Amino acid sequence: MIELTYPFDEARVRALKAGDAVSLTGRVYTGRDKFHKFFADGGHLGLDFRDGALYHCGPVVVKAADGTWQVKAAGPTTSVRENPYEPAFIAQTGVRIIIGKGGMDAATLAAMKQHGCVYVQAVGGAAALTAAAVTRVAGVSFLEEFGAAEACWHFDVTDFRGVVAMDAHGRSLFAEVAAESKRRLDRLIG
List residues with catalytic annotation.
Answer: 36
Cβ density class 69-86: b for 16+ within 10 Å, e for less: bebeebbbbebbbbeebb
Instruction: List the Cα angle 171/176/178 in 5-degree steps.
Output: 140
Evaluate whether 174 touches 103 at the Cβ level (below 8 Å).
yes
The answer, yes or no, to whether the previous bond of 7 is cis (omega within 30 of 0) is yes
Backbone angles phi, psi at 96, to 5 degrees: -105, -25
Instruction: Report the interhelical angle of 33-40 vs 86-93 (nearest 10°).
Output: 70
